[in-house]
Amino acid sequence: MCVQHLKTIKCAKVKKNMKLRITSHAMSRMKTRGISDEDLMNCIKRPDSKSKRRGKLIYRKNLGKGIIEAIAEE
């Protein structure tokens, strides 16, 4: 993971005192695809599906404008 240029957003409603760090690569993809921080939070707080793959959590959400997938490490 590229640890340069991380963006941190507070995510208190998901888990107490939890913060999400978004890599510059993910921020670039979000911007290109028109995905807002709010869309990302919605995906993580209320996923349509959640799974685990290779030790990472995968959240999926249909936002009406397309399906987004958020990959997270615990």
Does residue 56 sit within a domain?
Answer: yes
* pTM for the predicted model, two decimal places: 0.73
Contact by Cβ (8 Å): 46, 38: no
pLDDT of residue 45: 87
Number of domains in the chain: 1
In a domain, 17, yes or no: yes
* pLDDT-derived band at 15, boundaries 50, 70, 90: low
Q: Is residue 69 part of a domain?
A: yes
Whole-angstrom distance, CA of residue 49 vs CA of residue 16:
21
Give the pLDDT of residue 3. 39
Note down the domain range covering 30. Answer: 7-73
Mean pLDDT of the chain: 79
Flag whether 1 is in a domain. no
Residue 2 lies in a domain: no
